[in-house]
Amino acid sequence: MGIVRIIDKDADEGAPRPSGGAPVRAVPARSAEALQAAWDAARLPGKPPAVDFAGRMAIFLAGPEGCGIVGIRDRKKAVVVLYADDGFKDASARVKAVALSDKPILLRLSD
């Protein structure tokens, strides 16, 4: 598993960039409205997957077309989001529901 490299820490607020060069961000959404706003901002078709926001939140992966979340690891000090920057045809792969948390979200590019 590779760690996401930050190519230019001043560009795009330090967002990690996969090999294609488009910035990738993990956006926590604590309501259906926030998830819909992130979905719309990414110009994705249709509606995002349903999430039961009672005690949960969604993590939305904003990035290049075809990206998706491979897995989530809830660590002691952070929530680690493993992602791939291509290979996903269904946009719903950008959303994962997790337990509510105020921990920082770290992105890691999956091998």
* pLDDT computed for residue 19 by the predictor: 54
Mean pLDDT, the chain, rounded, equals 85
Neighbouring residues of 96: CB distance < 8 A, sequence distance ≥ 6: 58, 59, 69, 72, 81
Task: Determine if the pTM surpasses 0.85.
Answer: no
Each residue of 54-103: pLDDT tens digit?
999 999 999 999 999 999 999 999 999 999 989 999 999 999 999 999 99
Residue 10: pLDDT band (50, 70, 90) is: very low
Amino acid of residue 107: L
